[in-house]
Structure 1
Amino acid sequence: MKRILVVGGGLIGIRHIQAVKQHPGCHLVGLADPDMSIRVDATRFASMDDIQDDVDGVIIATPTHLHAAHGMAAAARGWHMLIEKPVAGTVAEAQALARALEQAQVRSLVGHHRRYHQVLQHLKAKIAEGVIGRVINVSLLWAMRKPDAYFEQNWRTSGGSPVMINLVHDIDVLRFVIGEISEIAALRGASLRGTDRIESGAVALAFENGATGTISFADTAPSPWGFEAGIGENPNIGTTHQDMMWITGTRGAISFPSLTLWQGKDWGTPSERVEFDKPAQSCVPLDAQLDHFLDVMDGVAPLIDVADAARTLAVATRIEEALAKQSAGLPVRA
């Protein structure tokens, strides 16, 4: 039995508590959160400093800007950790945490839970096998209209943008499936809600393996296209089962999440659709992530650790900085 502490009693923290309590291989030590009014069926602590019990692993589900400090404190106590995403508030903090974990010989996992969708793992494996040949380019689309209430009296109205809230997950998907991102260029769309917050834009990407790609995103446009809508993973976002990512290669192309595969030779002959098995999701990704965390504590290589997640954060940060330098009106055109 692994003794697990959850730090942070927000929505995702509560989901982690439920997952830990239901897992036959876990014992929930309790919830650490300074808000003692949070009511959960678990032992309550105001902070990690109050923990006297033995702990094998900690799940850190606090606000992003606290991740590094809480990770450092847990590492000092020898606790292996699962940290929610984004891994830290800044790239420098994430890198410092990675060094601290290495020095303390503490293992880590970061909650980029999309990597636990079996359909995404299947896509990654088939591309690696060469089902579409060498990858040439990828196009990804995320467009949703967030309700106005989402921004009322909320930290997102001032400091947040869909880049760090939403796009960071798509960036991690691209890194996971296609490879490391080496260069970015970005154009910012108009801000329509009366603030200077980033709301939409377009990003061009270059990958180390020679592939290129684009991301188009908006939180002001209702559409059926986006990872959450296509997969149906988020109860707050309507499910459409529509594709939102298209990948081309030297032997064909494939779209996601339908895993529709096309293969061909040249433009003189139309590409043909090829039957392609799509795996069923046997386990909720959050539960699969917890299973993996227990294995990571026992020495299994993590699907994504702090050092790896820092690279996803670095790409998202570069995109955010490039967009922030541009006018909140119409994008600048050369």
Structure 2
Amino acid sequence: MSMRFGLLGTGPWARQTHGPALAAHPGVELVGVWGRRPEAAAALAGELGARPYGDAEALIADVDAVAVALPPHLQAPLAVTAARAGKHLLLDKPLATTVADARAVADAVEEAGVRSVVFFTLRFGEGSAGWIERQAAAGGWYTGRADWYSAVFSADDSPFADSPWRREKGGLWDVGPHALSVLLPVLGDVTSVRAAQGPGDTVHLTLRHASGASSTSVLTLTAPPAAAGVAIELRGTQGVVGYPEDIAGEATDALAHAVTALTSGTPHTCDARFGLRVTEILVEAAAQLS
């Protein structure tokens, strides 16, 4: 039996990833689309064979689960509303940009007894998720780094360059969750946070982990296009292990795995409580930036 989904959001991420993955998933019936711009909701719903909704709560009432592709300050209150209505949640990163908002989502999920999955792309890509699991199982890591040099604001063709929340929050909040989604399952929870401002929106993040290991991350959306890329490396008793970028796969495939995780009924470690923890770390880092 298919799970009835509603899609909240009509921006580039909804059009390129959430919408196509939901519409193609064999375990999903995509019922409707809501967005802040009715004309965009109508256009996307038409492309996906779904119904446009003019009211988010009306769509929530008609489905079993919602997928959210909205800025974090909009995602959090709608997620609370959906959870309290008994709907399962497929959420995006970051869960929220304040601890209070993130905790409200996590608490609402637990109180309602619904399932939640937060879509951290590398944790659901078939190749990348397997790589992370193998490094976590290996253990013995001394230090690690997870650097995200993105050119969202410096390249000419990024569909996300006009995103107001990314302009305001920068790389710490947009690509920082990706780095943490790799480092935490491998090195353990964070016990100490240090952050320093670099050029543009660049943030240099240094973490101490419960395992005793340390890690660093460089996070930016303003890297020169020629310098853009992701670099993940671990050092320890296993030697030096780098992340092979050719295993990342397509975001739509990863989203499909996230949908399967939500519909399967088996709890996933990337749930709202994990999303809360990521928000707590980012808030602590942001407080140290001048």
Shorter-chain TM range is: 0.7 to 0.9
Cα distance, 1:164–1:53 mapped onto 2, change above 3 Å: closer
2:267 maps to 1:293: no
State how many pairs are aligned: 278
The AA in structure 1 aligned to 2:179 is: D
Choose which of 88, 91, 95 in structure 2 pairs with 1:80.
88
Cα distance, 1:221–1:50 mapped onto 2, change above 3 Å: same
The alpha-carbon deviation at position 308 of structure 1 amounts to 0.9
The alpha-carbon deviation at position 156 of structure 1 amounts to 5.1
Residue by residue over 1:132-173, the C-alpha shift from the partner in whole angstroms, topping out at 9 and shown as x without a partner, is x51100123222443266798652586221111222211222
Contact (CA 8 Å) 2:5, 2:65: kept in 1 or not? yes
Contact (CA 8 Å) 2:148, 2:218: kept in 1 or not? yes
Choose which of 247, 257, 263 in structure 1 pairs with 2:234.
247
CA distance, structure 2, for counterparts of residue 94 and residue 65 of structure 1: 10
Percent of matched pairs sharing the same residue:
25
**Range moving further from structure 2, 205-214 or 115-124:** 115-124
2:154 maps to 1:147: yes
Cα distance, 1:247–1:23 mapped onto 2, change above 3 Å: same
The alpha-carbon deviation at position 280 of structure 1 amounts to 8.2
Q: Which residue of 1 aligns with 2:224?
A: 221
Cα distance, 1:83–1:52 mapped onto 2, change above 3 Å: closer
Q: Which residue of 2 aligns with 1:168?
A: 177
Contact (CA 8 Å) 2:122, 2:248: kept in 1 or not? no
Unaligned residue ranges in structure 2 (runs of 5+): none
The AA in structure 1 aligned to 2:34 is: A
Secondary structure of 2:94's counterpart equals coil
Choose which of 16, 19, 32 in structure 2 pairs with 1:17.
19
Q: Which residue of 1 aligns with 2:197?
A: 188
Contact (CA 8 Å) 1:95, 1:310: kept in 2 or not? yes
Residue by residue over 1:31-73, the C-alpha shift from the partner in whole angstroms, topping out at 9 and shown as x without a partner, is 1224211112221111223248641111122221011210111
The AA in structure 2 aligned to 1:322 is: Q
The AA in structure 1 aligned to 2:101 is: E
Choose which of 315, 318, 322 in structure 1 pairs with 2:288.
322
2:279 maps to 1:313: yes
CA distance, structure 1, for counterparts of residue 214 and residue 104 of structure 2: 30
Unaligned residue ranges in structure 1 (runs of 5+): 192-198, 228-243, 260-277, 327-334
Q: CA RMSD in A?
A: 2.7
Q: Within 5 Å, which residues of 2 pair with 1:2-41?
A: 2-14=3-15, 15-38=17-40, 39-40=43-44, 41=46
Q: Which residue of 2 aligns with 1:236?
A: none
Q: Report which of the two has the higher share of helix.
A: 2
Structure having greater relative contact order (Cα 8 Å, sep ≥ 6): 2
Contact (CA 8 Å) 2:125, 2:248: kept in 1 or not? no
CA distance, structure 1, for counterparts of residue 118 and residue 248 of structure 2: 24
Which protein shows a greater Rg?
1
Contact (CA 8 Å) 2:4, 2:31: kept in 1 or not? yes
Residue by residue over 1:100-134, the C-alpha shift from the partner in whole angstroms, topping out at 9 and shown as x without a partner, is 1111111111111220123332333332343xx51
Q: Within 5 Å, which residues of 2 pair with 1:87-166?
A: 87-130=95-138, 134-145=140-151, 146-147=153-154, 155=164, 159-166=168-175
The AA in structure 1 aligned to 2:243 is: F
CA distance, structure 1, for counterparts of residue 60 and residue 165 of structure 2: 36
Choose which of 201, 209, 231 in structure 1 pairs with 2:211.
209
Residue by residue over 1:174-203, the C-alpha shift from the partner in whole angstroms, topping out at 9 and shown as x without a partner, is 113322111111221244xxxxxxx22322
CA distance, structure 2, for counterparts of residue 52 and residue 190 of structure 1: 42
| TM-score normalised by structure 2 residue count | 0.85
The alpha-carbon deviation at position 279 of structure 1 amounts to 10
Q: Within 5 Å, which residues of 2 pair with 1:66-77?
A: 66-77=74-85
CA distance, structure 1, for counterparts of residue 272 and residue 103 of structure 2: 8
CA distance, structure 2, for counterparts of residue 312 and residue 104 of structure 1: 22
The AA in structure 2 aligned to 1:284 is: D
The AA in structure 2 aligned to 1:187 is: A
Contact (CA 8 Å) 1:175, 1:312: kept in 2 or not? no
Cα distance, 1:37–1:87 mapped onto 2, change above 3 Å: same
